[in-house]
Chains A and B, each alone.
Chain A
């Protein structure tokens, strides 16, 4: 667009004055719009072209993955061989062929070894080649491999803990999207932690993976005056179902040591000090349908964890069955008379767990649970308004944990004025509460099974005895993509004697908050 020139003298003045920034902006905007319109038109034309030819019979004669130099051919073959027409009993239509290829490209995405986006080209082989048929097309997928090694060092501050870490990731180790992750961290609370894990897709399927790993760590547990030293390993199978659920099933073997007791550690903690080996099978299932895991406005999350330790051939030193369930739901709250999303949302969460001792191996009697197997509850990431592990039975100043728990929370989140609903900041009002109980001793005479059932039923009855321990408050929420930060003011409403409520401000960082 040219400015109309009125007179020759003007031109120098105009040049002197420089370019009007408004005009400049206007120009770029128009240019962008034009470009966008052109691009859209081209896309539409392409779409129409494919639409018009969607039933065109197509045979895929070859699929070439360009630039995948470090990836094994056999590994890629397993993804794309089935859609090559030589392996199909009938020709595709064009639409089908494109769909099949994009499913394959999607798998490549999920393997997390290529940069996005993966470009797709379709080409017709030269008709002069006698081996081709007129319906043949060649597919080219152009990928850029992600760097094979990644090193990261850094420091973290959160949940009253400072730490430094070294993180190493080797991608595509054997050319089959296998990854090796090595991690070491040193902190004020987690004194040291080393972890290594190896993960590989099975049969080139990104939704079916096998992982194994090992860890060695030493963690301070100031809420119960001890330090826990862990050494162990695990192996597990992870898979995703069509409904969006993710499963994990695996085996854990960990040697735990409760050591480094504080001078004022309680007799209970002293009694549990020492070594124990946990050998367990574990299954977790997660279905996450929330729109944003850190700050959901709609959707739900459900999760269940089952663990079976020490039973039958599993051996080890502890035997129990442990089950935990979690549900979280979020709904947007409309304001009457306000059109569109108000940005206000209500989230509610519920968690519950049960640990039941089992007879170890071939023994006939079950032993009561230990402190490192029991649940802990309370703190800024679950029941806010309580100190870390502030709920449940205590011996002196030590939180001993419990065998049964239930906790719930309701948070009402408002956008902050002037910041807006699109920013990850919210103001929240919340109320939450829970109970954490140890299994009671059975008072009836009878067989072990009867005693256990009676103990369980009296404990369950106690869960509903009186109001749960509760706290309520308000605060600010910031949802960073990796974690949620909260600064809350809260007051405890209902307590059990000895439980550690917190009056005033509390800061929390968490990945999975109640």
Chain B
């Protein structure tokens, strides 16, 4: 608002007025003449302080928040998500030493329609400025931008500082390497197609698992109403089916499991006797992606009734070791006690 307009009120069209200001003003009040504008600027006559927010409004805007599928209690304890898509980014952020809290949420909350997403801490103290959510596909870019901003120390919590320091040197080079490695792409597709297909089938289309895992984890927390639960169950099953039918005209159960078992074998061969994939000293995004599935399949708190896919995984001892290593390293022995269970589900 041109405040100095009041001081030059004698003659309106003063030639000495800066051009840019008139331009800006005319954009705001397209047809309002100057004296009326000045009158408008006097209103409101009185402004009181801001209204208090409702009780349900989240108040952790000073920390990064990762919105994932988890339980209320799980979020407090920081336990791994029961959803591979969410767990992948949860553990990846831990690898990168980012300080964040998890918030239990559902897909409707996400800007992309699928969890997870990250809501960065509002860096500047002016709370009026909205912070845009970072969907999972842009988390890596966000990490890179954050790194180039170069203020790692105040964002990293004490508990995970040593991890961050350990990885700091290798971080830049490793992400770079990961993305150019041809093998990386090939193995990633193994994970995103074959293992995911078997996982989708086993979880959603295999009724015992649907009842023992999907119902308590995904559907019951959404609503307590039986009819709404039925509708949601139907939607989830239909979505899994269309997802599988996208890749082949029919759902061949035997082939799905066979390919999944082969994929686990291939991953096992790739890992070999190394600590982490691709011979790295520190885990990267690929380790996070593998862990996301292996943990969900091996988690004792999830009650897999139909275990064919898990049996295939357990034949590859090094993959199981890999899962244990990450679990102990990033969820097991930290000061907040990240051990916990999905107790709330049962």
Contacts and interface: CB of A to CB of B under 8 A. Distances in A.
B54 A498 contact: no
A257 B231 CA distance: 13
B108 A261 contact: yes
B54 A369 contact: yes
Given A257-B108, A498-B50, A370 B56 contact: yes
Contact of B56 (A368, A497, A503): A368
**Main SS of chain B's interface residues?**
loop
Contacts of B151: none
Contacts of A436: 51
Contact of A439 (B46, B54, B103, B106): B54
Interface in A428-468: 436-441, 462, 466-467
Contacts of B58: 267-268, 271
Given A491-B40, A495-B44, A400 B225 contact: no
Contacts of B43: 491-493, 501, 503
Contacts of B54: 268, 368-369, 371, 374, 393, 400-403, 438-439
B51 A275 contact: no
Nearest to B53: A393
B148 interface: no
B175 to A, nearest CB: 26
Nearest to A492: B44
A316 B54 CA distance: 21
B157 interface: no
A308 interface: no
Contact of A440 (B48, B52, B224): B52
A275 B57 contact: no
B52 A437 contact: yes
B103 A271 contact: yes
A258 to B, nearest CB: 6
A467 B223 contact: no
A438 B130 contact: no
A396 B130 contact: yes
B55 interface: yes
Interface residues of A, number: 61
B56 A255 contact: no
B109 A264 contact: no
Contact of B48 (A255, A257, A261, A496): A496
A266 interface: yes
Given A267-B119, A317-B224, A503-B40, A273 B52 contact: no
B105 interface: yes
Contacts of B57: 267-268, 271, 395, 400
A494 interface: yes
Interface residues of B, number: 41
A261 B111 contact: yes
A402 B108 CA distance: 23
Contacts of A257: 108
A501 B55 CA distance: 24
B128 interface: yes
Interface in B33-51: 40, 43-51
A259 interface: yes
Contacts of B231: 255
B67 interface: yes
Contacts of A367: 56
Nearest to A276: B223
Contacts of A493: 43-46
A279 B227 CA distance: 12
A273 B47 CA distance: 31
Interface in B81-114: 103, 105-106, 108-111
A316 B130 contact: no
A315 B132 contact: no
Nearest to A367: B56
A211 interface: no
Most buried by B among A491, A499, A503: A503
A497 B48 contact: yes
Given A369-B56, A393-B53, A395-B53, A264 B132 contact: yes
Interface in A117-174: none
Interface string B6-44: 000000000000000000000000001000000010011
B232 interface: yes
B225 A268 contact: no
B51 A267 contact: no
Interface in A330-379: 361, 367-371, 374
Contacts of A395: 53, 57
Most buried by A among B46, B57, B110, B222: B57
B108 A273 contact: yes
Interface string B303-334: 00000000000000000000000000000000
Nearest to B106: A274
A51 B106 CA distance: 77
A392 interface: yes
Given A393-B51, A493-B43, A494-B44, A270 B225 contact: no
28 contacts: A255-B225, A255-B228, A255-B231, A263-B111, A267-B65, A268-B53, A268-B56, A270-B109, A271-B58, A271-B109, A275-B223, A275-B228, A317-B225, A368-B56, A369-B54, A393-B53, A395-B57, A401-B54, A402-B51, A402-B54, A441-B55, A467-B46, A491-B44, A493-B45, A495-B46, A496-B49, A496-B50, A504-B32
Given A271-B56, A277-B225, A504-B40, 10 more contacts: A255-B228, A270-B67, A270-B109, A273-B109, A275-B223, A368-B54, A400-B57, A402-B51, A467-B48, A497-B50
